[in-house]
Amino acid sequence: MFKISSELIDRELLIENIKNNHAGALVTFEGWVRDHNQGKKVSSLEYQVYAELAILEGEKILKEAVEKFNLHHIECVHRYGHLSLGDTAIWIGATATHRDDAYKASRYVIDEIKFRLPIWKKEHYVSDEAKWVFCKDHHTHVHFHEEDYYQKQSKLVDQSKLKNAKVLVVGAGGLGCPVLQSLSAAGVGEIEIVDFDTISISNIHRQFLYSPDVVGEKKAVVAANRLQAMNPFIKIKATDLQLDESNVVALTSNRDIVIDCTDNLSTKFLMHDACFINKTPLISASIYKFEGQMRTFIPGKDFGCLRCSYEKTPKDSFIGNCNDVGVLGSSVAIIGSIQANEALLFLDRGGNNTASDTLLLNLSTLEQMKLKNIKKENCQVCLGKISIEEDNLELIASEFNFNEVELIDIRDKDDSSIECYIESQKKVVLYCHRGIRSKELVASLRDRGYSHFYSLKGGARSL
């Protein structure tokens, strides 16, 4: 077991927890707060930790130790908060049949913890200013200040504006990964990631935050953990849910900017409408094969909105997505990086390049075009006359009992094959790959009076 604690470590209780009559050896390691480091007198230490990632990675390290060194049991407790001289900062206890395994395991765990865990130590000195100590390498200590992290970019932007910014990024896929990496590295103070999808092996060629070892895990959670480890000075929140009519207004409120990195029109328009309700700036981008498109929406300005051109949300089936038409990792990386740059410019200056003009970029020819954003006279959305009604066509998998519904996969069926369920006494829940075609089919069935048909929200990937 790996534990993070603000309380004093009770070594006797921990030893009692791992006693084992089959073990021939117990090796413990304790790291204490000492009174000196690199010629300076130390008065105390302060530890900060990103707990979720630390516990996850700490458990992995202990599991590796058990497998590598044939242990019976191993536990580790790491303190956080302010520690006094002589306090135990970390305790490791390993039991094994033979002492050599227990010795090696103890050394392995402390070395891996110092290298892999997002734990930061601040040394308080008797006669010098306190400093953060970066503990990536257990052989040396590198001192740094937060301002050192942003030394190069602070010549171009007001770092305090980025630090105080609150940003929502919806979608942690092909566009979301470069956007999130750039915003995190730039020091945007608070970032919330909304994505309900899990990582698949086909994502990794273009979604550079992920690797084969995390296939099947939640994108938002993995992305947040890796970004937090990259930059300890910002706050990142992972929200593992699908954006919909019930939550979009709340999620897009109280943000300095919302960044749309999604791949379907229904979500893009929904997010757009919510941002105009909240008067929240929105940067939206999309990509089709080699062609990228980007636009910034600023409610209250004379640059128009999506509803100036489309009063009704276009059907997702009218356009392809990367699953259907393919995509290059380099293409989404470029568009996503430009999107992040536009966001940073907006946060720093209050404006950017894509508010007055929509950017069109063809990455196969490097041709670029800007189209003037035109506001439609008397556009109701631009005037603030808009509301979002909840959609009753879809059900979430957690909302129904699978034994009480007819769950129908229509990915390999044509629409006429559903006719046999017209007389069903149960709710009939249709699903396809992403829930787009099934929702359109349910809408047509509802128009015919068949109210017992529903679409599975999110499609097959939500099961």
Q: In this predicted structure, what is the pLDDT of residue 199?
A: 92
202 has pLDDT over 70: yes
Inform me whether the pLDDT recorded for 317 exceeds 70: no
The residue that leads in pLDDT, 297 or 435, is 297
Q: What pLDDT digit, counting tens, does each position of 91-127 carry?
A: 999 999 989 999 999 999 998 898 888 888 888 999 8
Which range among 15-19, 51-55, 376-380 shows the weakest confidence by mean pLDDT? Answer: 51-55
* Contacts made by residues 31-34, CB under 8 angstroms, sequence distance 24+: 31/88, 31/89, 31/90, 31/91, 31/110, 32/86, 32/87, 32/88, 32/89, 33/83, 33/84, 33/85, 33/86, 33/87, 33/89, 34/85
Span of 161-165, 176-180, 254-258, 307-311 with lowest mean pLDDT:
307-311
Whole-number pLDDT of residue 339: 98
Which residue reads 């306090």 in tokens?
Answer: 87
Average pLDDT, the chain: 89
Q: Which residue has the higher pLDDT, 261 or 412?
A: 261
pLDDT over threshold 70, residue 319: no
The string of pLDDT tens digits covering residues 252-272 is 999 999 999 998 888 999 999
Per-residue pLDDT at 394: 84
Model pLDDT, residue 134: 57
CATH superfamily for domain 394-462 = Rhodanese-like domain (3.40.250.10)
* SS3 state of residue 430: strand
Name the β-bridge partners of 369: 360
Residue 66 reports pLDDT greater than 70: yes
Res. 403: pLDDT tops 60: yes
| pLDDT beyond 80 at 324 | no
pLDDT of residue 144: 60
Mean pLDDT of the 70-80 span: 93
Report the C-alpha gap between 50 and 189 in whole angstroms. Answer: 15
CA dist 354 to 181, 241, 302, 313, 339, Å?
Answer: 21, 29, 13, 22, 9
Higher pLDDT, 461 or 328: 328
Q: Output the pLDDT for position 137.
A: 42
Give the residue, 4 or 434, on which the prediction is more confident. Answer: 4
Please state the domain extents for the chain. Answer: 2-144, 153-372, 394-462
- Predicted confidence band of residue 320 (pLDDT cuts 50, 70, 90): low
Q: Is the pLDDT of residue 351 over 70?
A: yes
Residue 116 burial by Cβ neighbours in a 10 Å radius (0-12, 13-18, 19+): middle
**Per-residue pLDDT tens digits for 376-396:** 988 989 988 888 877 778 888
Tell me which of 3.30.710.10, 1.10.287.1040, 3.40.50.1860, 3.40.50.720 is the CATH number of domain 153-372: 3.40.50.720
Between these two residues, 191 and 244, which has the higher pLDDT value? 191
- pLDDT exceeds 90 at position 179: yes
Q: What is the predicted pLDDT for the residue at 322? A: 54
Q: Which of 81-85, 166-170, 237-241, 417-421 has the highest mean pLDDT?
A: 166-170
Q: How far is CA 318 from CA 231, 264, 422, in A?
A: 40, 10, 27
126-175 pLDDT per residue, tens: 988 888 775 544 334 445 677 888 989 998 999 999 999 999 999 999 99
Q: Which CATH class is domain 2-144?
A: alpha beta
Q: What is the pLDDT of residue 49?
A: 87
> Residue 75 — pLDDT band, cuts 50, 70, 90?
very high
- What number is the average pLDDT over the span 288-304? 93
Question: Which of 253 and 451 is assigned the larger pLDDT?
Answer: 253
Whether the per-residue pLDDT at 194 is higher than 80: the answer is yes
Q: What is the mean pLDDT of residues 445-451?
A: 85
Closest listed residue to residue 286, CA positions, set 337, 227, 252, 335: 335
